[in-house]
């Protein structure tokens, strides 16, 4: 290794892209997608298990399901029931995110901070007892928050839901198409908020609007990353805080990532892009682990663990 090329944060790299050979940067989103979408479902309705999760799975997507511990397994009539802990456990095993929406769906800005803390912590505890993990994200009941509530809810979290677009009763194909186009144009992360599908709050007048929308997003997955709220939030924060050092050799690069974050909390792999044209083959290793690399006409792309040390990239033209 003979030449130090860069030692800067992701933001500095992203804001000063150039056409030089061997340009190296962490992609804005997983697999260098243009934008990201997370589909989130509030309140733990039974049809989130029977309809939403299976529909997402058929497309290779996974969703985030915010639940209130008090209402899990409490059923009204058969058409308006809630999800069970066993169903939530099954959803979690299939890759969906099950997370905290407060114990009893109280507006946290209208109770004392001590009561708000109990609402959050009690729900963490029952989710942990039934599913085996403490949620790393949080969704505010009624989307209500202030600075004090945000501080309490954010403790030991990757992120909390502070922005969203309603995907439900007032959604039309045209509005959802506009949302997709705006995300593609701005490169932003869109967070959908759905409650009822065929019943409950803000249920769709025609649920095929949702299914058709999801299929359309699937057709654009070369540009849109659909990830859980936890996955995308963790990726963005890791991306914005990582530093990379790149050492250049004759036919190889050594890339040294440095990320000073809680690796038990922020666990998402990152996508690294190496801009180089005309490659026939490439070998990428991080430590002793061989990483799967994808070669394109103008770049090489691979996912890596930001905590696992130096990466060796060897290539041929």
* Domains 3-33+242-316 and 35-221 in one fold: no
pLDDT classification of 249: cutoffs 50, 70, 90? confident
CATH 3.20.20.370 is the classification of domain 35-221: yes
* Count of CA atoms in the C-beta half-sphere (13 A) of 39: 28
> Three-state SS for 23?
strand
pLDDT tens for each residue of 261-315: 999 999 999 999 999 988 889 999 999 999 999 999 999 999 999 999 999 999 8
pLDDT tens for each residue of 153-208: 999 999 999 999 999 999 999 999 999 999 999 999 999 999 999 999 999 999 99
pLDDT tens for each residue of 208-230: 999 999 999 999 999 999 999 99
HEC assignment per residue over 31-69: HHCCEEEEEEEECCEHHHHHHHHHHHHHCCCCCEEEECH
Domain boundaries, the chain: 3-33+242-316, 35-221
> Three-state SS for 289?
strand
pLDDT in the model for residue 6: 43
pLDDT in the model for residue 236: 98
pLDDT in the model for residue 315: 86
Please say if the pLDDT value at position 15 is more than 80: no
Rounded mean pLDDT, 21-40: 93
pLDDT classification of 14: cutoffs 50, 70, 90? very low
CATH 1.10.287 is the classification of domain 3-33+242-316: no
Please say if the pLDDT value at position 70 is more than 90: yes
């Amino acid at each position: 290794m003979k030449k130090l090329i860069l030692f800067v944060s992701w933001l500095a790299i992203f804001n000063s892209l150039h056409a030089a050979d061997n340009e190296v940067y962490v992609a804005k989103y997983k697999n260098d997608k243009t934008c990201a979408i997370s589909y989130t479902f509030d309140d733990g309705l039974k049809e989130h298990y029977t309809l939403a999760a299976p529909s997402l799975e058929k497309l290779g997507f996974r969703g985030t399901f915010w639940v209130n511990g008090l209402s899990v397994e409490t059923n009204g009539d058969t058409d308006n029931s809630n999800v069970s802990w066993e169903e939530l456990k099954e959803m979690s095993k299939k890759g969906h995110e099950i997370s905290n929406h407060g114990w009893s769906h109280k507006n946290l800005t209208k109770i004392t901070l001590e009561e708000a803390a109990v609402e959050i912590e009690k729900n963490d505890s029952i989710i942990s007892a039934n599913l085996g993990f403490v949620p790393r994200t949080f969704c505010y009941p009624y989307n209500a928050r202030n600075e004090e509530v945000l501080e309490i809810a954010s403790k030991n979290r990757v992120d909390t839901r502070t922005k969203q677009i309603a995907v439900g009763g007032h959604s039309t194909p045209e509005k959802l198409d506009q949302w997709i186009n705006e995300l593609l144009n701005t490169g932003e992360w869109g967070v959908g908020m759905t409650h009822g599908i065929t019943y409950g709050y803000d249920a769709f007048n025609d649920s095929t609007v949702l299914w058709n929308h999801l299929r359309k997003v699937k057709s654009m997955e070369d540009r849109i990353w659909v990830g859980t709220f936890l996955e995308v939030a963790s990726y963005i924060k890791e991306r914005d805080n990582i530093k990379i050092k790149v050492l250049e050799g004759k036919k190889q690069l050594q890339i040294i990532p440095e990320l000073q974050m809680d690796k038990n909390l922020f666990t998402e792999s990152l996508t690294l892009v190496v801009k180089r044209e005309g490659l026939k083959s490439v070998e990428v290793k991080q430590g002793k682990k061989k990483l799967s690399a994808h070669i394109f006409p103008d770049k090489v792309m691979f996912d890596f663990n930001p905590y696992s040390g130096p990466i060796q990239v060897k290539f041929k033209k």
